[in-house]
Structure 1
């Protein structure tokens, strides 16, 4: 899984203000972002590239890291009304009728983590290192994918080679 982020779109508006969480209509994250950016808002929507089985073939597709949500920067004194009528936007996440700001530090950390986390696709026979599950640091051989989020590995345990299935997130390149 290759995790990247859509760079925040900036506009001529002031950097004064806060970030907020916007809930998008089902499967319309990208559409909501495009429409908000077109209106001059600054948005952040981390995305990841995933290997999916589409029409019987493995393909790399880009998906939102947080499906159904994106972050929007609202300048001080900005008009909230256009958000309600923007295509793809369902609502601004609020508690007690008031939108709650999300810290800028959190948005920046999510963007930085999404940009820096790169897990490449593994090839059968490739040596990988286990990251957790009590096997940290042990090298094994990547055999195949086991569904969308799991892998089958060949590992040497007690002088015998064993096939194990683990979460994809539990391995890294050696």
Structure 2
């Protein structure tokens, strides 16, 4: 997952979030619909049901090739959530935190696989790209799925920095 492309929030037609998600996937657009499982009593039996965290809302990741018009005209989508005329951008870290807490098995597996690829806390890493290229660092923690917080020695002080995981070698 690329952290440099923004996430936006879509408002979907009532109970059409999954439909919109499927049609967006057919267009090659990454989307996320957070759900959770709960137990309900239906027809006298305790049943596990999957419910939306935010009914009628869907997160979508925009790329340079993605057209706002094609997303707006996707089946199930009403429009972008906007402030004035500007579509709302959602911080990637918020979306990734929601992903990590989602109750869908496929998503939980994908997130855990991404996190397993990262070094362990305290491991030495080398920054191979970006403004800190060539520096040695100590891995502190993940900052979402795409970035990590590292500890570097800068001007004889230990400083925490946040870098893209693609810039690391470990």
TM-score of the aligned structures, taking structure 2 as reference length: 0.55
Q: By how many angstroms is 1:57 displaced?
A: 2.1
Q: In structure 1, the residue corresponding to 2:50 is in which secondary structure?
A: strand
The size of the alignment, in residue pairs, is 104
Q: Deviations over 1:145-169 (max 9, x none)?
A: xxxxxxxxxxxxxxxxxxxxxxxxx
Contact 2:29–2:66, Cα closer than 8 Å, also in 1: no
In the TM superposition, structure 1's runs of 4+ consecutive aligned residues that sit over 3 Å from their partners are none
1:36 aligns with 24
Q: By how many angstroms is 1:59 displaced?
A: 1.2
Q: By how many angstroms is 1:16 displaced?
A: 4.4
Contact 2:15–2:56, Cα closer than 8 Å, also in 1: yes
Q: Does 1:81 align with 2:69?
A: yes
TM-score of the aligned structures, taking structure 1 as reference length: 0.54
Q: In structure 1, the residue corresponding to 2:41 is in which secondary structure?
A: strand
> Which one has a bigger Cα radius of gyration?
1
Segments of 5+ residues of structure 1 without an aligned counterpart are: 1-9, 116-174
Segments of 5+ residues of structure 2 without an aligned counterpart are: 104-170
* Greater strand fraction, Structure 1 or Structure 2: 1
Q: Does 1:63 align with 2:51?
A: yes
CA 77–37 in structure 1, closer or farther in 2 if over 3 Å, else same: closer
Contact 1:16–1:75, Cα closer than 8 Å, also in 2: no
Give the Cα separation in 1 of the matches to 2:40 and 2:56. 19
